[in-house]
Structure 1
Amino acid sequence: MSDAFLALDEDWRITLVNASQERMSHKRRGETLGRVFWEVWPETKDPSTKTWTEYHRCMQERVPVRFVEHHASLDVWTEVRAYPCQVGGISVFFRDVSQQMRTEAELVDALRHVETTRRSAEFEQQLIGIVSHDLRNPLQAIRLSAAHGLKGVGQETRQRRSFERILSSSDRALRMINDLLDFTRVRLAGGIGVERGEPVDLHSLVTQVVDEVLFTRPERQVVVESVGEVQGRWDADRLAQVVQNLVGNALQHTTEDVPVRVRTWGEGEDAVLEVHNGGAPIAAQDMPRLFEPFQRGSGARPDGGRSMGLGLHITYHLVQAHGGGIRVRSSADEGTTFTVRLPRDG
Structure 2
Amino acid sequence: MTDPQFTSDIEAIRSIDAVPVILSMVKHITGMRFAAVARVTENNWVACAVDDSIDFGLKPGDELVLESTICHEIRQHQQPVIFGHASLHPIFSLHHTPRTYGLESYISIPIVKADGEFFGTLCAIDSVPAKLDEPAIAKTLTLFAQLIAMSLDTQTRLHAAKVELDTANELGRLREQFIAVLGHDLRTPLSAIRMSADLLETKVEDKRSLNFIAAIRNSSVRMGVLIENILDFARGRLGGGIPVQRKLVDDLQRTLRMTLEEVQVSHPQATFIHRLDVPTGVYCDALRISQLLSNLLGNAVTHGSISEPIVLNAWAENDEFVISLTNQGTPIAPHLIPLLFEPFSRSEAGQRCEGLGLGLYIASQIATAHNGSLSVTSDSESGTCFVARFPAQFKWV
Q: 1:295 and 1:148 mapped to 2: Cα distance?
A: 39
Alpha-carbon spacing, 1:200–1:283, altered in 2? closer, same or farther (3 Å):
farther
CA contact (8 A) 1:252 1:300 kept: no
**Structure 1 position 201, deviation (Å):** 2.9
Provide the residue aligned with 1:318 in structure 2. 366
Query: What is the SS of the residue equivalent to 2:389?
Result: strand
**Structure 1 position 121, deviation (Å):** 2.5
Q: TM-score, normalising length from structure 1?
A: 0.59
Alpha-carbon spacing, 1:144–1:281, altered in 2? closer, same or farther (3 Å):
farther
2:172 equivalent to 1:121? yes
Q: 1:288 and 1:168 mapped to 2: Cα distance?
A: 33
**Among residues 303, 312, 329, which one is paired with 1:262 in the alignment?**
312
| Structure 2: gaps of 5 or more residues | 1-167
Q: TM-score, normalising length from structure 2?
A: 0.52
2:220 equivalent to 1:170? yes
Letter aligned with residue 197 of structure 2: A
2:233 equivalent to 1:183? yes
Q: 1:128 and 1:162 mapped to 2: Cα distance?
A: 32
**Structure 1 position 246, deviation (Å):** 0.5
CA contact (8 A) 2:267 2:301 kept: no
**Among residues 326, 329, 337, which one is paired with 2:377 in the alignment?**
329
252-261 vs 334-343, which deviates more? 252-261
Provide the residue aligned with 2:118 in structure 1. none
Letter aligned with residue 283 of structure 1: A
The percent identity for this pair of structures is: 34
Alpha-carbon spacing, 1:230–1:274, altered in 2? closer, same or farther (3 Å):
farther
Residues 3-14 of structure 1 mapped to structure 2, 5 A cutoff: none
**Structure 1 position 322, deviation (Å):** 0.7
2:357 equivalent to 1:309? yes
Provide the residue aligned with 1:138 in structure 2. 189
Letter aligned with residue 238 of structure 1: R
Alpha-carbon spacing, 1:230–1:283, altered in 2? closer, same or farther (3 Å):
farther
Residues 185-334 of structure 1 mapped to structure 2, 5 A cutoff: 185-227=235-277, 229-296=279-346, 298=349, 300-301=351-352, 306-334=354-382
Q: 1:207 and 1:176 mapped to 2: Cα distance?
A: 23
**Structure 1 position 338, deviation (Å):** 0.5
1:64-111: CA deviation from partner (whole Å, max 9, x where unpaired): xxxxxxxxxxxxxxxxxxxxxxxxxxxxxxxxxxxxxxxxxxxxxxxx
**Structure 1 position 137, deviation (Å):** 3.6
**Structure 1 position 208, deviation (Å):** 0.7
CA contact (8 A) 1:200 1:234 kept: no
Q: 2:325 and 2:227 mapped to 1: Cα distance?
A: 25
**Structure 1 position 174, deviation (Å):** 1.2
Provide the residue aligned with 1:46 in structure 2. none
| Structure 1: gaps of 5 or more residues | 1-116
Provide the residue aligned with 1:342 in structure 2. 390
Q: 1:147 and 1:260 mapped to 2: Cα distance?
A: 36
Q: 2:235 and 2:288 mapped to 1: Cα distance?
A: 14
1:220-248: CA deviation from partner (whole Å, max 9, x where unpaired): 22222113635412112111110110110
1:303-340: CA deviation from partner (whole Å, max 9, x where unpaired): xxx42111111111110101111111110111111011
Which of 1 and 2 has greater Rg? 1
Provide the residue aligned with 1:29 in structure 2. none
